[in-house]
Structure 1
Amino acid sequence: MTATIPLHHGTFTLPEFFTAKFGLKSDDVIIIEDTPQGILLKPNRIESTRVYSDEEMTQWESEERALEPHRQWLEAELAKVSRDESRWGS
């Protein structure tokens, strides 16, 4: 999609179609690049990070161990789904 938008005092507003499509919200940061084709705008996708506690890590490890007896079956089922999706072009 292409849009023509006015520039007012060096600023512009992206049409809602673009903000919705790219999940942009007020105060998000946009990267602007000078390219041979012109200006390229890209969402700045810096994700926040968090340090997990030892208790959280222990809980996840426990849950992983509980799933281990079912892992082979789960992997086989996921492989079937993947094959079906690739056959249909999804």
Structure 2
Amino acid sequence: MRSLFLYYKQINSFNIPFSLSIALLVLSERGSFSVFFFLPLLTVGFLLSLYLYQVRYANQYFFYYNLGLDKLKLIGFTFGINASIALVYFLIF
């Protein structure tokens, strides 16, 4: 479980700054910050962060594979956590 959260933290180190920059750009155009933060967090930002992680840390997947975690499980877990956070936020607000 710790290794899943390590991967989650590494992926979101790319994803959150990208999503935040998109949300700030939309906010300057009088858009909704929360919608345009969580939307890229789940779509474009997520795909971009997966690509950047693949380019920069391609050998790290061997570490996770040796722990019994394949790429699909890692990506599914990360997307699931991000989707859960976004769902809870949109249900509350």
TM-score w.r.t. structure 2 length?
A: 0.25
Choose between structure 1 and 2: higher strand proportion.
1
* Higher radius of gyration, 1 or 2: 1
Choose between structure 1 and 2: higher helix proportion.
2
Which structure has more relative contact order (CA 8 Å, sep 6+)? It is 2
